[in-house]
Amino acid sequence: MVARRGNIRFTLAAAVVAVVSAAAGFGLWQWRSADSAPPMAALKVLPEPRVLADFRLVDQDGRPFSLDRLRGRWSLLFFGFTYCPDVCPGTLFDLEQVHQALREAPEDLSDYQIVFVSVDPERDSPTRLAEYVAFFDPDFLGVTGRPEQIAPLALQIGVAYRIEPHEPGAASYSVDHSASVFLTDQEGRLHGIFPSPHEPDLMIRDLLATLD
């Protein structure tokens, strides 16, 4: 019963964070009007791509992951943590469906990547991330870093998260975080956002129109 109440509290908190984050994004970014951009079913496109400052993280293989690894291809970024009970596995399952559809598209849409960024480095080691993302799709990348490395990237993209205060080394604590998926372009700039809840069919439609 305690675990169930904890999951309910987490789900509600994550939903609140997602709504606040999405609302703030709309207010700050002022999305394109229907007259100035092709109609998108789910993707909210920024009026101008947002230039991102460089960052230093590490991927599931222990290799450096910086802004250079976003350049040269489109990237879908989702921020969460591997102990997430519902939002993260649900979103990664949606992204796996998106990835499968793009792989089967007649167009050559191979020049993109899906990146899961853990905001919980205390528990999410590169080894754990490798196992976690591979469960959904072996093509997915898992990325993390020290708290002081993750926070600036999350801030400039517009990701909200909060780690519950806990004793060092604690095995159980919650993390509230945004549920949006962020799209960066081939120059490593923030192009747009897929707010939650996600509908894979609509995401696929918008990505087919954007990545071609």
pLDDT tens-place string over residues 48-102: 999 999 999 999 999 999 999 999 999 999 999 999 999 999 999 999 999 999 9
Domain count, the chain: 1
7: left (phi over 0), alpha (psi -120 to 50) or beta: alpha
**Full domain range(s) for residue 39:** 2-211
Whole-angstrom Cα distance, residue 210 to residue 45?
A: 10
Q: What is the CATH number of the domain that holds 175?
A: 3.40.30.10
Residue 31 has pLDDT above 90, yes or no: no
Whole-angstrom Cα distance, residue 181 to residue 193?
A: 6
Residue 14 has pLDDT above 50, yes or no: no
Q: Give the other-Cβ count within 10 Å of 199's Cβ.
A: 13
Whole-angstrom Cα distance, residue 20 to residue 176?
A: 12
β-pairing, 112-118 with 64-66?
Answer: unpaired
Query: pLDDT of 135-163, one tens digit each?
Result: 999 999 999 999 999 999 999 999 999 99
Question: What token pair was written down for 157?
Answer: 């993209």
In this prediction, what percent of the chain has a pLDDT beyond 70? Answer: 80
Per-residue pLDDT band at 6 (split at 50, 70, 90): very low
